[in-house]
Chains A and B, each alone.
Chain A
Amino acid sequence: MIIRRPSAVLLGLAVALFPLGVAPVAADETAPTEPPKVELVLDVSGSMRAADIEGRTRISVAQQAFNDVVDALPAETQLGIRVLGATYPGDDKAVGCKDTQQIVPVGPVDKEQAKGAIATLRPTGFTPVGLALRAAAADLGTGRTTRRIVLITDGEDTCAPPDPCEVARELAAQGTHLVVDTLGLTRDEKVRRQLLCISAATGGTYTAAQSAAELSGRLRQLVDRAKDTYAQTPALVTGSDQCAKAPLLSPGVYTDRERFSEHRWYRVPVGAGRELRASVSIALDRPVNRDYGVLLRATAADGRELVRGTDAGSGRTDVLSTGLRWSPPSEPDPSPSDTAATVGDTAVCLVVSNSFSARAGAAQSPGLPVELTIDVVAASPAPDGPGLGRGWLLLTVLTVAGLITGVLAGWLTRWWVATWRTN
């Protein structure tokens, strides 16, 4: 009985206390107001005639992949199709390099009509990739959500300028949240370089498709991604070069651009009993030298550093991130500078700096994309002290203490009884 009772108590405790775990991620996103938009840009230049994918021509493989995508298109996704080099068969570069048309407008897709338009494509002309990208960006329009372009090509741009990579960087810098994924149908080195550059500049991906199944599967995956990710668009903000003039941020996600070795300042109001959480990611959208770092510091209005987050790395990566937590001290800081301002409305300054360095030939501006996440939550006060213990040492100490107490109690009792008897 004696044994059973403590275990029952423990069981009760377990039942009472176990559900107090971490709440799952709250999915409190409101329904987006815009449908996901994606445009496929297909190269229909003369080289697409080559029959080198499992014995089939590149264009027929691409057509089949497009049909698969149209068939499997999620209902809410708006798809457009643009072609380049599809109509002008001549040799005049000036004319051939303007040859790009939208054959399916971005919108709810009429599957039969789209497939019909795809079926009529015949490999013909030049490869004005840069121009087609610009036009595709215009087709998708501007809005608050991310748009995706999927570029499928087998050849290098034959029409530069504009250089497609420059165009991609320019589109990314406009802040229209455009991601360009690229699919190469050959493993030619120049094509690969160009497509890698385009995708890196916009945060997209590059794939070398070598079979019909691969192309089809990858294309479907990319179009699906548009549906999954289009709503996650951060707000644009421009950081200041000093704390006093910095924009005041509320919780949420922001993007900005930061040049090499630049400092960008932001401010966040943090009340008493609140905790600031900030994280920053700097994306590497151009070739940089091997070693690099990012530093996020939180400072008080007078420039005193409160806390810093830092990360460094080397080699190939997409983003470099760091973060920090900070909460105001629970009692007013005794330092004289704080006497004027109450702790209740402290604006904490955040400064983002980087130690990237541009590789020779890489553009200095616009700056590297910065993603800033700000959250202000209830502070977690320091616990009073250790609560429960564990381990054999604890058991030994408690047992020895109990034994000593028992022995002392026994002796005291004997002494007291003896004294009482003698009196």
Chain B
Amino acid sequence: MLTPRRAAPLLLAGVAVALAASTPAAADPAPATPSPGAATVTKAGTSFLTATGVAAGQPVRVAASTGEYLYWSFVASAGETNQVAVTVTLPERHAPATWTVDVFDGLRRRQACTAGAQSPAVGTGDATVTLGCTLRQVRSWAEPWSGDPLPGTYYVRLAVVDLPEQDLGLPVQVDMLISATSDGDGGPEAGTLETPLVPPVRAGAVLTAQSADAAATADTDGTWLPDFSARWIWTTAGGVLAAVAGVVGFGLTRRPRRRP
């Protein structure tokens, strides 16, 4: 029965399935390692406006004081899942403390961590404390009313939130690394955010009269095609499989040819 003519579509289907299976599987969060050749950042900002920009994979090493609020910002694009890993080397102290790492989006909205030790308590004997936060996957579009993570700037704030006053001001060393894994999948809607959530940093101006803001209507210059992602492969493979199945189904209805 399995003549070469019949085998070809089956082979094709097998390959398509293999293709589909191999690519879209989201990689497990690999242990964060700095990108080779990335320059170490030795600064941290002290507020949202002065946050120090950091790229994913770029190591950060900063000397700071206990009680300081340290801010960094990074840029995330649709489909990315970002992880923040922080290690704080602590001095000798009097009492237990709690450290916390908070992540905010470009609108300064608090972002949930899906995994990681976001605010660990540290005893007096510990020399270091390790913090981590895995963010939700960044979507390509969301309703204005939702709090879903969108492409744009993200802020990381590291602080000690609970400690006795006498331990404030002591020197600490902070190591931080932001890593990003991406499968390019920006969510099922396939919409796009016209402008990423990058907040303005310039001083504003109070308007005197109601002058309508530049009423440029959003002409969608973007393409209607979604960005390349695993969804393209899945859908294409599905089409191929459907076609093959159609041919097979058609073949099944034919009567076995009578031998002459």
Interface residues of A (CB under 8 A from B): 2-3, 6-7, 10, 13-14, 17-18, 20-26, 29, 144, 184, 187, 189, 192-193, 195-196, 203, 205-208, 210, 214, 217-218, 221, 224-225, 228-229, 232-235, 237, 247-254, 269-275, 277-281, 307, 309, 311, 315-319, 321-327, 344-345, 347, 371, 373-383, 385-391, 394-395, 397-411, 413-414
How far is B245's CA from A24's CA once the two chains are assembled, in angstroms? 45
How far is B241's CA from A399's CA once the two chains are assembled, in angstroms? 5
Which of A195, A318, A391 contacts B159 (CB under 8 A)?
A318
26 example contacts (A-B, Cβ-Cβ < 8 A) are as follows: A17-B228, A20-B223, A23-B196, A144-B203, A192-B165, A195-B169, A196-B165, A206-B67, A233-B203, A253-B202, A270-B213, A279-B109, A317-B159, A318-B69, A345-B212, A371-B48, A386-B190, A389-B238, A398-B241, A402-B242, A402-B243, A404-B249, A405-B249, A407-B253, A410-B251, A413-B250
How far is B143's CA from A379's CA once the two chains are assembled, in angstroms? 10
Say yes or no: is B175 at the interface (Cβ < 8 Å to chain A). Answer: no
How far is B30's CA from A27's CA once the two chains are assembled, in angstroms? 32
- On chain B, the residues within 8 Å of A189 by CB distance are 166
Structural contact, A311 and B110, CB atoms closer than 8 A: yes
In the complex formed, the residue of B with least CB distance to A17 is B228
Structural contact, A325 and B242, CB atoms closer than 8 A: no
How far is B248's CA from A187's CA once the two chains are assembled, in angstroms? 83
Interface residues on B, range: 35 or more
Say yes or no: is B39 at the interface (Cβ < 8 Å to chain A). Answer: no
Which of A24, A232, A251 contacts B49 (CB under 8 A)?
A232
Which of A249, A318, A375, A388 contacts B190 (CB under 8 A)?
A388
CB distance from B136 to the nearest CB of A (A): 16
- On chain B, the residues within 8 Å of A397 by CB distance are 238
Structural contact, A234 and B203, CB atoms closer than 8 A: yes
Structural contact, B196 and A374, CB atoms closer than 8 A: no
Structural contact, B213 and A411, CB atoms closer than 8 A: no
Structural contact, A395 and B246, CB atoms closer than 8 A: no
Structural contact, B206 and A390, CB atoms closer than 8 A: no
- On chain A, the residues within 8 Å of B46 by CB distance are 203, 205, 225, 229
- On chain A, the residues within 8 Å of B120 by CB distance are none
- On chain A, the residues within 8 Å of B233 by CB distance are 10
- On chain B, the residues within 8 Å of A281 by CB distance are 48, 108
Structural contact, A375 and B200, CB atoms closer than 8 A: yes
How far is B18's CA from A254's CA once the two chains are assembled, in angstroms? 55
Which of B110, B144, B215 contacts A325 (CB under 8 A)?
B144
Structural contact, B213 and A271, CB atoms closer than 8 A: yes
How far is B245's CA from A401's CA once the two chains are assembled, in angstroms? 8
CB distance from A356 to the nearest CB of B (A): 17
Structural contact, A10 and B232, CB atoms closer than 8 A: yes
Chain B positions 131-168 with a Cβ under 8 Å from a chain A Cβ: 141, 143-145, 151-153, 159-163, 165-166, 168
How far is B240's CA from A25's CA once the two chains are assembled, in angstroms? 40
In the complex formed, the residue of A with least CB distance to B65 is A207
CB distance from A24 to the nearest CB of B (A): 6
Report whether over half of chain B's contact residues are helix, strand or loop; otherwise say mixed: loop
- On chain B, the residues within 8 Å of A377 by CB distance are 194-195
Structural contact, B226 and A388, CB atoms closer than 8 A: yes
In the complex formed, the residue of A with least CB distance to B218 is A378
Which of A272, A382, A398 contacts B143 (CB under 8 A)?
A382
How far is B43's CA from A225's CA once the two chains are assembled, in angstroms? 9
Structural contact, B212 and A271, CB atoms closer than 8 A: yes
CB distance from B75 to the nearest CB of A (A): 6
In the complex formed, the residue of A with least CB distance to B140 is A383
- On chain B, the residues within 8 Å of A280 by CB distance are 108
Structural contact, B188 and A386, CB atoms closer than 8 A: yes
Structural contact, A388 and B232, CB atoms closer than 8 A: yes
Say yes or no: is B63 at the interface (Cβ < 8 Å to chain A). Answer: yes
In the complex formed, the residue of B with least CB distance to A187 is B166
How far is B144's CA from A59's CA once the two chains are assembled, in angstroms? 57
Structural contact, A251 and B200, CB atoms closer than 8 A: yes
Structural contact, A402 and B227, CB atoms closer than 8 A: no
Structural contact, A234 and B204, CB atoms closer than 8 A: yes
Say yes or no: is B3 at the interface (Cβ < 8 Å to chain A). Answer: no
- On chain A, the residues within 8 Å of B199 by CB distance are 277, 279, 373, 375
CB distance from A142 to the nearest CB of B (A): 15
How far is B154's CA from A190's CA once the two chains are assembled, in angstroms? 38
Q: Assuming A25-B75, A214-B171, A325-B107, is B210 touching A345 (CB within 8 A)?
A: yes
Structural contact, B201 and A29, CB atoms closer than 8 A: yes
How far is B251's CA from A225's CA once the two chains are assembled, in angstroms? 75
6 smallest A-B Cβ distances: which pairs?
Answer: A252-B204, A406-B249, A410-B253, A323-B107, A402-B242, A387-B190
Structural contact, A206 and B168, CB atoms closer than 8 A: yes
Q: Assuming A277-B107, A378-B195, A402-B244, is B215 touching A344 (CB within 8 A)?
A: yes
Which of B144, B214, B231 contacts A388 (CB under 8 A)?
B231
